[in-house]
Chain A
Amino acid sequence: MKELLSIEGLSKSYKSIRAIHNLHLLISEGQSFGILGPNGSGKTTTLSIITGIIRQDSGSFKWFGEEPVSEHRKSIGSLIESPHFYPYLNLEKNLRIICDIKGISYKDIPRVLEMSRLIQRRKSRFSTLSLGMKQRLGLAAAMLGDPQVLVLDEPTNGLDPEGIAEVRELVNNQVGIGKTLILASHILSEVEKICSHVAILKKGELLANGPVRELLAEDEIIEVSCRDNQLLKRKLGSSGLVSEIEEENGVLVLTLKERVTAHEINAFAFSCNLVLHHMLSRKRSLESQFLELVKEES
C-alpha cells in the first residue's frame, strides 16, 4: 500500500505542558486508522499539526510522501474538534466558501447536504442548527469534492445516541467505499467498530500501534471453573501457562501466555485430577487492552 502520511519525531509543547513527544506514525492509503487515547493524550494536537492549524516544535510529517503544503489539505476532508462556520451564513453559503477554498464546483453541495441529511435546512443559518446538525455539516464540508482521505477528530463528540449512530454510519459508509480514514477518539468502541489500525497515545507518547485485530488477539482470555477453583488457581499459578488469574463470579479468568491454547489448559487441569465443568474463550475487548496499556505506563 502507498504511504499516505508519515510522522517522524513530532513534538509539541504548550509552555510547560508536553502535548506530544517524539511521535512516529506511518499511515498507508486505504487504511482506517484510529488514534486512541484519554483526554490530554495529544490526539487533537497531532491532528491539528497535520492539518496546519498549529506548528510543531520539532519533527516533521509528510503527506503523500511530500513536504506538507496547503494544496494537500485541499484534497483532504477534515473535521477537527467542533465544526466552525460563519454563524450568520446559511449552510449553502458556508459550503460555497469551502468550495472556493478547495477550488471545486458548487454542484457538489446538494450531494453532501443530501448525504448528511441537511438538504432541507440548506437555507438555514448555521447558528440555528442543533449540535448534531452542526457536526453533520462539518462532515458534509469534509466530504465536499469527494476526498480520498478523511481526517476526523472526535466526530461524535457531544452527540446524543441517535446522532452518534448517524455519524458512525456516515463514516462507516465512507470507509466501506475504500476511503482512507484517520480518526481520533477517546471512545474505544468507536475505534473498534470503525478502524482497521490503531495507535494508542498517552501523555503525548505512543504506547502501541498496529492492526486492531492483532492488538485484540495479543492475549487470549478464557474462563474456567471446576469443583475446586482454589486448587486449580494454585496449580495454574505455578504452571507457567498463564500470565494472570482473576476470580470473577465463581469462575477463574485466565490470561494465557503467548502461544498457549485453551486445549493445553484443559489437559493440564485433567493431569492435576481436576475436571473442568466450565470453559469459555473470550476475546479481550480493546477497552481492557487500552486501559491496561494506559495503566502499565503510568
Chain B
Amino acid sequence: MRKLLHTEQIKLFNYNPFRITIALYLVAFTLGILIYPAIDKEIPVISLSDLFRFPDVWLFLAWITEPYNAVLALVVIMITTKEFSDHTFKTQVVFGLSRTDLLLQKLLSIAFLSLFAMLLVGLTSLALGLIYSYKLTLKIALENTWILGKYLLAAFSYMTIGLMVALLIKNTALSLITFLALRVFVDPVLWLLLRNHEIRWYLPFRTITRLTPVPDLIEIFQRKMNSAEPIDEATMDILPKGLPEWLNVLMVILYTSLVIYGCYRLLQRRRFT
C-alpha cells in the first residue's frame, strides 16, 4: 500500500498539468473566499461575515467550496486518462501490478486529494472563524465540525465518478466533456424533469451536493437579530428539504461503492495496449 502511494506521489508531483491544476484550484478557492466580503458591502443590514463566525463557518465554507470538488474530479480524469495515452497501465501490469493494484493506486490518490481538500476547508474555516468570531469557546468553535467528514465523503465520491468516466472513455478530452456534461447538463435536466417526484432527491450528484447543503441562513440571521418571531411556513419552503441526512449519506456511500465496483470490473476487463 505504501509503495503504491509512493509511486503515485512520484507520478503526480512531477506532472506539470497536475501541479498547475492544483495551483488553479487553490487560486479559485482563495478568490472564492475573498469575494464574499466584497459582496457584503452591497447588502445592507445582513452581513455575510456573520457566516464566517463559529460555529456557522464550517457549514458555510463546506457549502460554498463544494463545487470545487468538480475540479478535483477533473484532475483525477486527467491523471487516469494520461496512463492510457502513455500506455503506462500496461507497463505497470507487465512489471507486476495486479489490476486490483491499479484501482487501489488510483483510489489512494483520490483519498489523498480528498484529505487535502478537507484539510484545506477545515483549516480555512478555522482561520476565518478565529478572525471573525466575537465569542470564542472550544464548544462553539468545534460545533459543526462533523461537516468535514461529509465534505471528505463528497470529495471522494466526486472523484470516484471522475475515475469511472476516465476508465470507461480513456480519452482525456472526451472524458472531461462527459464528466462536465453529466454534472452541468444531465443532472440539472433530470432534476427539472423529475421536479414533481420525490425520486429526484436520489439523483447521484444531488445526493453528493446535499452532503454539504445550504446552511439555514434564515435561522442564522434570525439568531443574529435576536428575533423570537417564528418563521412562517412559506419562508421555510424556500429551503430545500430533501432526504433525511442519514439516508442521504447512505445513498452516497451506496453510489460510491457501486462506482468503485464498476471501476474494478472495467479494469479487470480492460485490454492494455
Q: State yes or no: do A and B come from one complex.
A: yes
Residues of A that sit less than 8 Å from B by CB = 51-55, 69-71, 73-74, 78, 80, 83-89, 93, 96-98, 100-103, 141
**Which residues does chain A contribute within 8 Å of B95, judged by CB atoms?**
73-74, 78, 98, 101-102, 141
B257 at the A interface (CB under 8 A): no
Among A55, A89, A100, A141, the most chain B Cβ lie within 10 Å of the Cβ of: A100
B239 to chain A, nearest CB (A): 48
Which of A73, A83, A89, A93 has a CB less than 8 Å from the CB of B96?
A: A73
Which of B86, B94, B97 has a CB less than 8 Å from the CB of A78?
A: B94
The complex places the Cα of A86 from the Cα of B8 at a distance, in Å, of 12
Q: Are A93 and B94 touching (Cβ within 8 A)?
A: no
Q: A70-B97, A85-B88 known; 16 other A-B pairs, CB under 8 Å?
A: A52-B98, A53-B93, A70-B93, A73-B96, A74-B96, A84-B90, A86-B15, A87-B86, A88-B14, A93-B10, A97-B92, A98-B95, A100-B4, A100-B6, A101-B95, A101-B96
What are 16 A-B pairs at a CB distance below 8 A?
Answer: A52-B94, A55-B271, A70-B98, A71-B96, A73-B93, A73-B95, A73-B96, A84-B90, A85-B88, A88-B15, A88-B16, A89-B11, A96-B10, A97-B11, A101-B3, A141-B95
Which of B3, B14, B87, B97 has a CB less than 8 Å from the CB of A89?
A: B14
**Which residues does chain B contribute within 8 Å of A100, judged by CB atoms?**
3-4, 6-7, 10
Interface residues of B in 1-47 (CB under 8 A from A): 3-4, 6-7, 10-11, 14-16
**Which residues does chain A contribute within 8 Å of B92, judged by CB atoms?**
97, 101
The complex places the Cα of A69 from the Cα of B99 at a distance, in Å, of 11
B222 at the A interface (CB under 8 A): no
The complex places the Cα of A86 from the Cα of B12 at a distance, in Å, of 11
Q: Are A53 and B94 touching (Cβ within 8 A)?
A: yes
Q: Are A80 and B7 touching (Cβ within 8 A)?
A: no
B272 at the A interface (CB under 8 A): yes
Q: Are B94 and A80 touching (Cβ within 8 A)?
A: yes
Q: Are B91 and A84 touching (Cβ within 8 A)?
A: yes
**Which residues does chain B contribute within 8 Å of A52, judged by CB atoms?**
93-94, 98
Chain B's closest residue to A138 (CB) is: B91
Given contacts A84-B87, A86-B88, A100-B3, contact A51 B11 (CB under 8 A): no
B101 at the A interface (CB under 8 A): yes
Q: Are B86 and A101 touching (Cβ within 8 A)?
A: no
The complex places the Cα of A269 from the Cα of B92 at a distance, in Å, of 64
Chain B's closest residue to A54 (CB) is: B271
The complex places the Cα of A235 from the Cα of B86 at a distance, in Å, of 64
Which of B14, B16, B98, B271 has a CB less than 8 Å from the CB of A53?
A: B271
Given contacts A53-B272, A74-B95, A102-B95, contact A86 B90 (CB under 8 A): no
Which of A53, A69, A80, A103 has a CB less than 8 Å from the CB of B3?
A: A103
Among B11, B93, B272, B273, the most chain A Cβ lie within 10 Å of the Cβ of: B93
A interface footprint on B85-129 (CB within 8 Å = 1, 0 otherwise):
011101111111110010000000000000000000000000000
The complex places the Cα of A171 from the Cα of B96 at a distance, in Å, of 21
**Which residues does chain A contribute within 8 Å of B87, judged by CB atoms?**
84
The complex places the Cα of A243 from the Cα of B3 at a distance, in Å, of 62
The complex places the Cα of A93 from the Cα of B16 at a distance, in Å, of 15
The complex places the Cα of A71 from the Cα of B97 at a distance, in Å, of 8
A40 to chain B, nearest CB (A): 15
**Which residues does chain A contribute within 8 Å of B3, judged by CB atoms?**
100-101, 103
B172 to chain A, nearest CB (A): 14
The complex places the Cα of A93 from the Cα of B7 at a distance, in Å, of 9
Chain A's closest residue to B268 (CB) is: A55
The complex places the Cα of A53 from the Cα of B87 at a distance, in Å, of 11
